Amino acid sequence: MSLSKLRDQLRDQADEIDVNEPIPLIAVRDRAARLRRRRIAAVVAGGTAVALVVAVAVGKGVRTEVDGVQPARTPTAVPSATESPSDGLPSRRVAPAKGDYVKEGVRYRAKIADDTLQAAAIGSAGQSSISFRWTPVTTQVDFRIFCTIHDPQDIGKVVVRINGKPVGAESCDQFQDTEPGERAVARVPAKDLGLRVGHAVQVTASIIDGNGRLLNRPGQFVGAGIYSRSQDREYGSRDPVYLPERIEHQGLTYQLEDSGTAAVRLDVGQQDLVLPTPGFKPFLLMFGTIGVRQNHSFETAGVPGGEVFDIRPTDGRTSSIKFDGVAAQAAGEVILRQKASNSAKWDLVIAIYLPVS
C-alpha cells in the first residue's frame, strides 16, 4: 500500500470513530453517507487487495442534456458505485446505456427504476454553480442533486432552484458519488414549482456554506439531474409531498410497502412516530417532516442509534425528507419525534422500502 493510500485509509477510519459525532440511525447524510458513497474502497479478491482508482478528467464548461437531446459524448464505462459497498446492502453493477449522461466520472443513468432522465448537468472541477434551461415534457419530476468537497473541514450543501425558487437541498460529501441518479427524493406538486409542459425554466444548482455564500474549493463538483416519475404516493395534510413507489439502491430495485408506511399529524406537544422494521433483510427508509413552514428540528432513534436534523424550509420543501439504507439485521423499530414542543402543526412520515424479489 502506498503512503498516500495508507494516509487516506487512516483518515477514513478516524472519521468512522469520531466520538464527537452522533451515531446516525441509518447512515444519514453524514458519517455513514460518506461511507456508502466511498468510491475508492479496496476490492479484495483471492487475498489480494486491488485499489479501485477513479480518474477524474477536468472538462471545460458545463455540458447539458436538455429536451431529449442526447449528450455529445458517447457513454463510457463508469466506475461501479457498488463493487465494494460499505453499507452492507446488496449490489449489482449497471452497465452503461444509451441516453446516460456522463461527465467527470459521474453518471446520471437514462433509466432508474421507473424513472426517466429528462435533463442533467455536471460542473467542471472547482465550479460553485451550474445553470441551464430546461423545457418540461412532463411536470411529474424530481431533482437529484449532489456536491463533492474533498476537504473534510469544509461544510457545504447544494441547493437547487427553479427560476430562483428553492426546490431542495443536499449536504456535500467528501467522496465523489458516481451514481447520483439513485438518490431518491420526494416530489412536490408542479404548481408549487411553476412548471408547465412546454414552458422553459432556469435550473440552478449551487454549492453554498452555512451563511448562504458560494463555496469555491479546488476539485469540488456539483451536478443536477431531472427525472420524470409517474408512480407516487401523497403524504401530509399540509403542503403535501409525494414519495416514489419504487426506487433503486446500488443497482437493485426496492418497493414502497403498504404495511411498512406510517404518517401521523402532531398538533401540539411531543408525540413519537414509531414503526417496526423488518428482520434479517435489507431495507430503505424515507423519513422526515412535512408542512412545517419555519426552522425546526427533529430526531431519529431506534436501530441502531439516533441523530438530530435541523431543517430550514428556505432550502425547499423536499429538504426535510431524508433517505438512506439499512443493512439486514434483527427486527427493531424506528422512532421519529419533533425535537422541541411548539405550537406548529407537524406531519411526520416514515416510509419503508423492501427489495423486489
Residue 331: is it exposed, middle or buried by C-beta count within 10 angstroms (0-12/13-18/19+)? exposed
Report how far apart, in Å, the C-alpha atoms of 49 and of each of 1, 40, 46, 182, 287 are.
Answer: 9, 12, 8, 27, 37
- CA 233 centroid distance within chain: 19
Tens digits of per-residue pLDDT, 21-44? Answer: 333 333 333 434 433 333 322 222
Percentage of residues in the chain with pLDDT exceeding 90?
A: 47
172/161 Cα distance (integer angstroms): 16
102/142 Cα distance (integer angstroms) = 19
Contact 26, 285 (CB under 8 A): yes
Q: What span, in angstroms and rounded, lies between the C-alpha atoms of 68 and 224?
A: 16
Tens-level pLDDT at each residue, the chain (357 residues): 555 555 555 555 544 444 343 333 333 334 344 333 333 222 223 333 323 233 333 333 333 444 443 343 434 444 433 343 457 899 999 999 999 999 999 999 999 999 999 999 999 999 999 999 999 999 999 999 999 998 878 889 999 999 999 999 999 998 888 999 999 899 998 888 889 999 999 999 999 998 889 999 999 999 999 999 988 999 887 788 999 999 999 999 999 987 667 777 765 455 788 889 999 999 999 999 988 888 888 889 987 568 899 998 889 989 999 988 899 999 999 999 887 655 566 788 999 999 997
Write down the domain spans for the chain. 21-228, 233-355
For residue 35, what pLDDT is reported? 39
Which ranges of 19-105 does DSSP label H, i.e. alpha helix?
31-36
SS3 state of residue 35: helix
Q: Decide if 175 contacts 34 (C-beta within 8 A).
A: yes
Nearest to residue 244, comparing CAs of 339, 159, 144, 118? 144
Give the integer Cα–Cα distance in Å for 326 and 278.
10
CATH number given to 233-355: 2.60.120
SS3 (DSSP) at 71: coil
